[in-house]
């Protein structure tokens, strides 16, 4: 005899709206009664690749909610209490993350926390209370209301401005990462930030000198000879200025074919090896003590000032 297919007790359905989107809801069958739970999640018309990806993420989140409801109902049927950590307070977890940070990274996280509190002053809000709609509200706050100097109470002669597009993206990214961490640690089973549009980071304008411009500079008497050496060393090696100003002689190795630099990049933290050509090696000058800077004092004058004086 063919086994009868077990009927699902929770269905995920969609309902069209006047604006062309579809509202997602759960159709729940329980003890012969039918109820609907609207999820405040919406599918948009798929006109672009981004629309398709957004709908995919929204459906994934909706399916996770459906699965959670089924587990909750079946657990009640068998008298099982499914314990979760979703009653944990969101801000407590965020503060623990901040405590593990230091320097400018910690300051950035503290700014994010300050913006969360400006949007939601309830210190005891739990993970379970933060819905996709709440997340969208916080995103809207960052986009339209958030101001500079969230944790800086110093008096200034100018009024604070709205935060930049880059800051919006950074703050929202840090906020969302709290939920990613909570998911990895098993604290929550649903991530309400999934399906909520991220901020696009602005494209940075980077300016480069042409070969002809560098040649012209090399023939121009510099206002500071030592700074000029450091600058042209940067041009010849491609090293960041932040790496050059902290370069020490212990990082400059002598080997059979010439000189090599072994150093840790300040920005990436990665260990780098760089073999110097004859022209770049000549910019280093005479070797100093291991802990001496190769180009001492070069952090005092910004490179753009040097270029302007040339």
Look at residue 191 and tell me if it is in a domain.
no
Lowest mean per-residue pLDDT among 142-146, 194-198, 213-217: 213-217
Which residues share a beta bridge with 36? 27
- The pLDDT tens digits of the residues spanning 87-141 come to 788 999 999 999 998 887 888 999 999 999 999 999 999 998 898 889 999 999 9
The last residue of a domain, from among 167, 184, 201: 184
| pLDDT, tens digit (0-9, with 9 covering 90-100), for 13-44 | 999 999 999 999 999 988 778 889 888 889 99
195 in a structural domain? no
> Could you tell me which residues come within 8 angstroms of residue 85 by beta carbon, excluding any fewer than 6 positions away?
127, 182, 186, 187, 188
Classify residue 1: in a domain, yes or no: no
pLDDT tens for each residue of 156-171:
667 778 999 989 999 9
State whether 223 and 300 are in the same domain.
yes
Full domain range(s) for residue 178: 90-184
How much is the pLDDT for 183? 83
Residue 16, in any domain of the structure:
yes
Query: How many structural domains comprise the chain?
Result: 3
Predicted confidence band at 179 (pLDDT cuts at 50, 70, 90)?
very high
- Mean pLDDT value across the chain: 81
Token pair recorded at residue 178: 């709290």
Q: Point out the domain boundary residue: 32, 56, 77.
A: 77
Give me the long-range contacts of 4-13 (CB less than 8 A, separation at least 24): 8/70, 9/70, 9/73, 10/66, 10/69, 10/70, 10/73, 11/66, 12/62, 12/63, 12/66
Phi first, then psi: give them for residue 155, nearest 5 degrees: -80, 140
Q: What pLDDT shows up at residue 286?
A: 84
Does 196 reside within a domain?
A: no
Query: What's 299's domain CATH number?
Result: 1.10.443.10
pLDDT of amino acid 134: 94
DSSP-derived 3-state class of residue 263: strand
pLDDT of residue 80: 46
Q: Are 239 and 276 in contact (CB under 8 A)?
A: no
Domain-embedded: residue 189: no
In this prediction, residue 4 carries a pLDDT of 47
| Cβ atoms 265, 243 nearer than 8 A | yes
Q: What is the pLDDT of residues 58-79, one digit of tens each?
A: 898 888 888 878 877 766 665 5
- What's the pLDDT at 310? 55
Is 226 exposed, middle or buried, given 0-12, 13-18 or 19+ CB atoms closer than 10 A?
middle
The model's pTM is: 0.48
Query: Does 194 fall in a domain?
Result: no
- Does residue 2 belong to any structural domain of this protein? no
Residues 218, 247 share a domain: yes
Q: Which of 91-100, 194-203, 227-236 has the highest mean pLDDT?
A: 91-100
């Amino acid at each position: 005899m063919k086994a009868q297919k077990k009927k699902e007790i929770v269905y995920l359905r969609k309902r069209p709206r006047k604006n062309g989107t579809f509202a997602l809801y759960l159709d729940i069958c329980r003890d012969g009664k039918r109820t609907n739970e609207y999820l405040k999640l919406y599918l948009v018309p798929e006109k672009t690749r981004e629309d398709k990806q957004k709908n995919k993420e929204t459906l994934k989140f909706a399916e996770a909610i459906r699965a959670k409801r089924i587990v909750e109902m079946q657990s009640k049927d068998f008298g099982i209490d499914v314990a979760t950590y979703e009653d944990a307070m969101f801000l407590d977890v965020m503060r623990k993350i901040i405590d593990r940070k230091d320097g400018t990274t910690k300051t950035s996280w503290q700014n994010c926390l300050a913006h969360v509190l400006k949007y939601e002053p309830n210190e005891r809000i739990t993970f379970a209370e933060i819905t996709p709609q709440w997340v969208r509200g916080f995103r809207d706050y960052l986009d339209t209301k958030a101001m500079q100097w969230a944790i800086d109470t110093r008096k200034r002669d100018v009024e604070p401005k709205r935060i930049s597009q880059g800051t919006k993206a950074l703050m929202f990214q840090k906020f969302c990462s709290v939920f990613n961490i909570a998911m990895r640690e098993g604290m929550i089973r649903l991530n309400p930030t999934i399906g909520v549009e991220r901020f696009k980071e602005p494209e940075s304008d980077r300016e480069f000198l042409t070969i002809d411009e560098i040649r012209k500079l090399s023939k121009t008497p510099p206002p500071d000879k030592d700074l000029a050496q450091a600058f042209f060393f940067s041009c010849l090696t491609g090293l960041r200025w932040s790496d050059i100003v902290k370069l020490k002689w212990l990082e400059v190795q002598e080997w059979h074919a010439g000189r090599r630099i072994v150093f840790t990049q300040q920005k990436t933290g990665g260990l780098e090896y760089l073999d110097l050509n004859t022209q770049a090696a000549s910019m280093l000058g005479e070797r100093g003590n291991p802990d001496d800077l190769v180009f001492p004092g070069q952090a005092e004058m910004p490179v753009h000032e040097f270029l302007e004086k040339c």
